[in-house]
Amino acid sequence: MRRVVQYVQKELKTLPSESGTWEYVLRSTNLDAEAPNGRVEQVPPAIEIRSLAPGDDATAFRTLNEEWITQYFTLEPKDRETLNDPVNSILLKGGHIFMAYAAGEAVGCVALIPMRDGVYELSKMAVSPHLRGRGLGRRLLQHLIAQARSLGARSLFLGSNTRLKNAIHLYESVGFRHVKRETLPPMPYSRADVFMEMPLD
């Protein structure tokens, strides 16, 4: 099996590069991931992460977020405002939405929303249920952090909930730390009871 993986990796490296897509696919795809029992997992799909532009179809951004929010909580007014019109609520305010695609299907997303003085909110992160636990959330986070640094962001913050233990552990693993609610900009979600921040400067 490992010889096959090595062969595939070698062959992919010979393919032409377009805007760095193949290099990113090679870096972000774990071709020989192992399950906890030591057995080789099904090969995860190649993932491409792209920014959502104002003219793009934002349906997947809404449906991916509605799926996880309604699974654990209820949609709040701010959720509806943001998900029903992400162009005006995020993009035209200087924010960014990053979409993850596998074989042309939108399978994940995350938003970067400017607040004040180089402070950005990490919001509306979602991963398709069939790909959870396979590293896609981490890839999205790493991509967002890199983009935030390139924009000159000083820090990131987020609000989460104690029920979302896996998400909180992921945030901690990439450098977010727990802070008091009052140290952050206003949080419009009643479900938020975990508050985290990550300095970037």
Residuewise pLDDT in 10s, the chain (201 residues): 444 344 434 444 444 433 333 333 333 333 333 334 443 344 457 999 999 999 999 999 999 999 999 999 999 999 999 999 999 999 999 999 999 999 999 999 999 999 999 999 999 999 999 999 999 999 999 999 999 999 999 999 999 999 999 999 999 999 999 999 999 999 999 999 999 999 998
CB-based contacts of 127, cutoff 8 Å, min separation 6: 64, 100, 107, 108, 136, 137, 140
Bridge partners, residue 108, by sequence: 100, 127
Report the C-alpha gap between 80 and 72 in whole angstroms: 16
How many helices (DSSP H) and strands (DSSP E) are in the chain? 7, 7
Which two three-digit tokens encode residue 20?
């760095």
The full set of domains in the chain, from first to last, is 1-43 (no CATH), 46-199 (3.40.630.30)
